[in-house]
């Protein structure tokens, strides 16, 4: 399995609804608010790097209120 952390900048008016939607998305292992330059972190998992890419591009980036994403592949 391939895992990644996705760091999100989110419209502050709808952070809670974005977090709820992300948590309900298949492939999302965890998602929480964070303090610092980003608003939410999301840990995701997929069978391949391509499935990770599809999850980010097709599901997460498409959510209303997402201003930007930064993705970090987890290496172990």
Q: pLDDT band for position 76 (50/70/90)?
A: confident
The whole-chain average pLDDT of the chain stands at: 95
What is the Cα–Cα distance from 58 to 32, expressed in whole angstroms? 20
pLDDT tens digits for 21-52? 999 999 999 999 999 999 999 999 999 999 99
* CB-side neighbour CA atoms (13 Å) of 76: 5
Would you say 40 and 15 are in contact if contact means Cβ atoms under 8 Å apart?
Answer: yes
CA atoms of 51 and 28, how far apart (whole Å): 12
The reported pLDDT for the residue numbered 12 is 93
Q: What is the pLDDT of residue 16?
A: 96
Ordered domains of the chain (ranges, CATH): 2-73 (3.30.70.920)
């Amino acid at each position: 399995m391939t895992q990644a952390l996705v760091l999100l900048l989110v419209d502050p008016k709808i952070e809670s609804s974005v977090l709820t939607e992300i948590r309900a998305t298949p492939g999302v292992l965890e998602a929480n608010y964070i303090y610092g330059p980003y608003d939410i972190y999301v840990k995701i998992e997929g069978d391949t790097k391509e499935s990770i890419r599809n999850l980010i591009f097709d599901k997460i980036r498409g959510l209303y209120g997402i201003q930007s994403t930064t993705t970090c592949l987890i290496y172990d």
